[in-house]
Structure 1
Amino acid sequence: MGTRTRITLSNEGKILAATYIHMDGHVEKFAPRLILALQTTTPADILKNRQLFQFFAMDGLYDGGGDDGMSYVCDVDISQNQYAVTLSGFGQKLLFQGTLDEFARCYDELG
């Protein structure tokens, strides 16, 4: 059994998001990343975007095994100050790669 850790993000006692580290959850492993994440945003920004935080609660990252067994894997990369979407199907077959606008044109049934 590894070192297990649960990290929650809460506001006035209400949990907004949580993550669970099943193996190697030592403080020195997660603290630097958590500190950096918190230093690069404000509580007001988190509250403003709480629905997004709740949607991406991060627990799904550790559940269900590796990407190889998934029907779909979707990655939204914000590192270039815009959204870059990559969607892969079973066996990591590339189904889509492009901007958020292009993705919406292909997959948004509501818009």
Structure 2
Amino acid sequence: MSTRSRIKLMHQGVALGAIYYSHDGHVWNFSPELIEALQATTPRSLLANKAMLKLMGLYALDADGERDMHLDYLCEVDLSQEDYIIRLSEWGKGLVFEGNLTAFSQQYGKKDNR
């Protein structure tokens, strides 16, 4: 497992929580699960879900000694608006995607969308 990724929940520029993934390969190894989870709720509902935010907390924010700049992928999910804004950065390439959940789902929802 050589690919390192982190998904961060952000609100108004502040990290609320994160999940760290160690996997082989591409964004498609975590994106379908992320898309399904985000489609099941709204940013407002997610912000109100204190139990989920407490569970995620800041555990995966550098808790493993990895800094965001050294990850293969950093996926930030912004909860500040009515629709999720997702920013995906790839090491060495910078920002490779920025858009709402619908656009992210179209681009990364299936492995054969490469």
Structure-2-length-normalised TM-score = 0.46
Structure-1-length-normalised TM-score = 0.47
Structure of greater Rg: 1
Question: Which protein has greater RCO, CA pairs closer than 8 Å, 6+ apart?
Answer: 2
